[in-house]
Structure 1
Amino acid sequence: MASSRAGSAPSKRGIFAASFIGTSIEWYDYYIFGTAAALVFGSLFFPEFSSTAGTLAAFTTFAVGFIARPLGAAVIGHFGDRIGRKSMLVLTLLLTGGTTFAIGVLPTYAAIGVAAPVLLMLLRLLQGFGVGGEWGGAVLIATEHASRRRRAIYGSFAQFGVPVGVLTSNLAFLAVSGMSDEAFLEFGWRIPFLLSIVLVAVGIIVRSRLRDAPEFEQAKKDKALSKVPIVELFKRQPRNLVLASLTSIAPPAVGYTVIVYMLTYGTTVIGFDRTTLLTLILTSTVLWIATIAFSAVLADRFGAKRIYAIGAFTAVVWPLPMFALVNTGDTGLALLAFVVAAIVQGIMAGAQGALLSEIFSVQVRYSGISIAYQLGGMVGGAVTPIAATALYGAYGSSTPIALYVTGLCLLSFAAVFGLRAVGSADGAPAPEGARATVREAGPVD
């Protein structure tokens, strides 16, 4: 029986494709909203506001997606722990892809008045709800098929999707940024949103060929799954949930400072050209991807917790130098600022999938890692562009912004040391049946 399961298990290439391609598409959908919020949404959907107020309103709409993400993590995570990982991954693609396409055809304030920003916010909520369940499922469909000594490498499959989503979303906007301002505002910004429907179709085809990992299938067969996973999660592993959420703040705090806030700050305050900034961020993303791969290898060798802590420490020390380099107005120094920021994120990302997967038991794992990741994203990602805009408006300096990001990353650096793996003294006991299943089924190596 075990041999049969192992023989029909998906290949490493299939797992990589389902985790990486799907997540790349999801984050492409998500990041084009952030780029559009920084570049055009203020003038198109909030034209009666002042320049600063319009930017704040656009970033608030961007932040609304983060508010929905923990709810999506809880709901989709519940069914992911009850029904299976594969079906939820198909659902998340449909949700995010459909809403992204709808944003691309949404009338602006000039056409339908106040209904435009209201609809934009509702679509962003639905998009965030879908993204809330994406990352956890993509990580688990990979890590639960992996042997223990390859868990970080498999967990990094989904992590590649984040910078690739940044890369492709920036490429999409870079392709239309050469238009005149009038053409860009009239229809150019819509093109990246409309293209997403093709990418989603590809992702659904890839993910439909998946199957859940033996560990989860055995727990389902043994009727060992939790009836209400989130209740069991809060009851059995509240410490790991809180600490994992705090640990997850640093990557989005650094990432969204660069890929969202810097687009506004760099163009309106420092005077960079829009196309130049997009190109610099795009270039730095290549290093982000490479660092994820290198970090994952190190995490499997030296431990995910140790490597993540190193990454979190670099996140603490980099914001001040990063802003100082950008403030020079020099293109080369700004590129250096973004490249190092990309490396900082990559170190944490390469270890994060394995780190969070090993601290929750299989019955609550989808819920646990999804909620933790999305709560961290809400604090680190949603609030940061808004706080940065408000801080600069109040003080006229980037120093308070840098110190704010440093403080968020310091929380993550402190929290990671308190995490405990399943089966350790402070972690929930690992199910014996699930551990046996993994050994018998022969996870992909």
Structure 2
Amino acid sequence: MAGSPSAPSRRSIFAASFIGTSIEWYDYYIFGTAAALVFGTLFFPQFSSVAGTLAAFGTFAVGFIARPLGAAVIGHYGDRIGRKAMLVLTLLLTGGATALIGLLPTYAAIGVAAPLLLVLLRLLQGFGVGGEWGGAVLIATEHASPRRRAVYGSFAQFGVPIGVLTSNLAFLAVAGLPDESFVSWGWRIPFLLSVVLVVVGFVVRSRLQDAPEFEQVKAKRETSTVPFTELLRRHPRVLALASLASIAPPAVGYTVIVYMLSYGTTALDYERTTLLTLIMLSTVVWVATIVVAALLSDRFGSKRVFVIGALTAVIWPVPMFALVNTGSAGLAGLAFAVAAVVQGIMAGAQGGLFSEIFPVRVRYSGISIAYQVGGMVGGAITPLVATALFGATGSSTPIALYVTALSLLSLVAVFGLREGSARSAEQVPVR
């Protein structure tokens, strides 16, 4: 089918998966950065410093609560209508909400309506992101040959570190402003830039077609009537294990890219620009590790590589905090770089692994819900728990042990997943 609309080039698949996902994660992560740096002051000024930070992180967490709902709803239509249409929708939802946050009046201007609107827009942002990852992975892996699924699945995974990189670059560009200017208007610029990025992503994604693997199911009228119900009835074990396996990557990731910004600037007196720069540099290591892990996954198996990544996630949190606590920028950079390796190993394997464990008729819903439930537990709660633990104990050790415990859940769960079982059972021919 080469040259037909159903057989896009590897370059166009990469662009649709990677560029669109990068833009959406940029939108998502700038909220986390703003929550750590400025939202407590602007939208919750009536609280104490710690309570304001908790409120800002709570608003950040709201987006994660919406993500499983977005995964279920968008996954439903992705399994019934098609992957491409939903990818365009998620881009518009997330980008539109992000731009509106950049225009939002603060508490000083409109009172309690400001944090309420912030929460509403964060919910919309999270709803859109909820259906993004699954569609981006499938638009790539369903066009791939069996021996290249992990590499194709990693295209969407690049979007996470690139989103972190670009969001930190955007904030780094304005972080040097005087505090008064940064708090007044500088923080809005990264949010407003989303408008330009969404236009680029829309053009790229609108040119893509769904893969033959899905089109065959659709043509035979074998799509699931209610994918979520079918998942719960026929695949509850796989859904539960995949959700638990998805906890470790965001638990490690959000500890670094969100909580460390608050912890490092308030408890350890790191400069804001120093931490943003270190996190930004670590994303280069993250991307490189994803590439290596994806190649190894296609050679040795995605499950085996993911297990290695989850094991490193269990081991690393305690030494990571010990290095950051020295107050040395160099050692903090080392801590973040190794954390990036930890995340990259799991990210390089996850797309290929998850696309193999769910049947095609419920695959969009299955991998989306599992990924987002794991993200909610590992990503939404971790900055909140970390802030509360440090406030109660004055020590980072309980935080490190908490992240270790979450990662151990993922390590145990991934052993129960059977790689390739869904595709083998279906025997759906692929290119």
Per the alignment, residue 431 of structure 1 pairs with 426
Per the alignment, residue 211 of structure 2 pairs with 213
- Mark the runs of 5 or more structure 2 residues left unpaired by the alignment: none
Per the alignment, residue 404 of structure 1 pairs with 402
1:233 deviates by 1.0
- After superposition, where does 1:186-201 map in structure 2 within 5 Å? 186-201=184-199
Question: Structure 2 CA distance, aligned partners of 1:326 and 1:90?
Answer: 40
- After superposition, where does 1:282-361 map in structure 2 within 5 Å? 282-361=280-359
Change in Cα spacing, 1:402 to 1:4, as seen in structure 2 (3 Å) is closer
- After superposition, where does 1:180-259 map in structure 2 within 5 Å? 180-259=178-257
Give per-residue Cα distances to partners, 1:79-128, cap 9 Å, x unaligned.
00000000000000000000000000000000000000000000000100
Question: Structure 2 CA distance, aligned partners of 1:160 and 1:178?
Answer: 28
- After superposition, where does 1:264-283 map in structure 2 within 5 Å? 264-283=262-281
Question: Structure 1 CA distance, aligned partners of 2:272 and 2:318?
Answer: 23
Question: Structure 1 CA distance, aligned partners of 2:242 and 2:426?
Answer: 21
1:431 deviates by 2.5
Q: Share of identical aligned residues, percent?
A: 77
Q: Which residue identity lines up with residue 145 of structure 1 in the other structure?
A: H
- After superposition, where does 1:4-83 map in structure 2 within 5 Å? 8-83=6-81
Question: Structure 1 CA distance, aligned partners of 2:366 and 2:3?
Answer: 26
Tell whether 2:141 aligns with 1:146. no
Question: Structure 1 CA distance, aligned partners of 2:193 and 2:416?
Answer: 43
Question: Structure 1 CA distance, aligned partners of 2:28 and 2:298?
Answer: 29
Per the alignment, residue 385 of structure 2 pairs with 387
Question: Structure 2 CA distance, aligned partners of 1:65 and 1:243?
Answer: 23
Question: Structure 2 CA distance, aligned partners of 1:430 and 1:366?
Answer: 17
RMSD, matched Cα: 1.1
Q: Does the aligned pair in 2 maintain the 1:18–1:206 contact within 8 Å?
A: yes
Per the alignment, residue 89 of structure 1 pairs with 87
| Normalised TM-score (structure 2) | 0.99
Give per-residue Cα distances to partners, 1:328-387, cap 9 Å, x unaligned.
000110000000000100000000000111000000000000000000000000000000
Question: Structure 2 CA distance, aligned partners of 1:370 and 1:62?
Answer: 20
1:429 deviates by 6.8
Q: Which residue identity lines up with residue 59 of structure 1 in the other structure?
A: F
Question: Structure 1 CA distance, aligned partners of 2:382 and 2:15?
Answer: 32
1:4 deviates by 6.8
Q: Which residue identity lines up with residue 178 of structure 2 in the other structure?
A: S
1:420 deviates by 1.7
Q: Which residue identity lines up with residue 86 of structure 2 in the other structure?
A: M
1:32 deviates by 0.1
1:422 deviates by 5.0
Q: Does the aligned pair in 1 maintain the 2:228–2:365 contact within 8 Å?
A: yes
Q: Does the aligned pair in 2 maintain the 1:25–1:203 contact within 8 Å?
A: yes
3-state SS, counterpart of residue 305 of structure 1: helix
3-state SS, counterpart of residue 267 of structure 2: helix
Question: Structure 2 CA distance, aligned partners of 1:129 and 1:241?
Answer: 20
2:368 to 367, 370, 384: 370
Question: Structure 1 CA distance, aligned partners of 2:403 and 2:6?
Answer: 46
Per the alignment, residue 415 of structure 2 pairs with 417
Question: Structure 2 CA distance, aligned partners of 1:207 and 1:7?
Answer: 14
Q: Which residue identity lines up with residue 303 of structure 2 in the other structure?
A: K
- Mark the runs of 5 or more structure 1 residues left unpaired by the alignment: none
Q: Does the aligned pair in 1 maintain the 2:6–2:210 contact within 8 Å?
A: no
Change in Cα spacing, 1:5 to 1:365, as seen in structure 2 (3 Å) is farther
Question: Structure 1 CA distance, aligned partners of 2:26 and 2:218?
Answer: 33
Question: Structure 2 CA distance, aligned partners of 1:84 and 1:272?
Answer: 47
1:178 to 145, 163, 176: 176
Question: Structure 2 CA distance, aligned partners of 1:8 and 1:84?
Answer: 13
Question: Structure 1 CA distance, aligned partners of 2:214 and 2:33?
Answer: 38
Q: Which residue identity lines up with residue 313 of structure 2 in the other structure?
A: A
Give per-residue Cα distances to partners, 1:360-419, cap 9 Å, x unaligned.
000000000000000000000000000000000010000000000000000000000000
Change in Cα spacing, 1:156 to 1:134, as seen in structure 2 (3 Å) is same
Give per-residue Cα distances to partners, 1:131-169, cap 9 Å, x unaligned.
000000000000000001000000000000000000000
- After superposition, where does 1:434-445 map in structure 2 within 5 Å? 435-436=428-429, 438=430, 443=431
1:430 deviates by 2.9
Q: Does the aligned pair in 2 maintain the 1:16–1:157 contact within 8 Å?
A: yes
Q: Does the aligned pair in 2 maintain the 1:360–1:421 contact within 8 Å?
A: no
Q: Does the aligned pair in 1 maintain the 2:87–2:205 contact within 8 Å?
A: yes
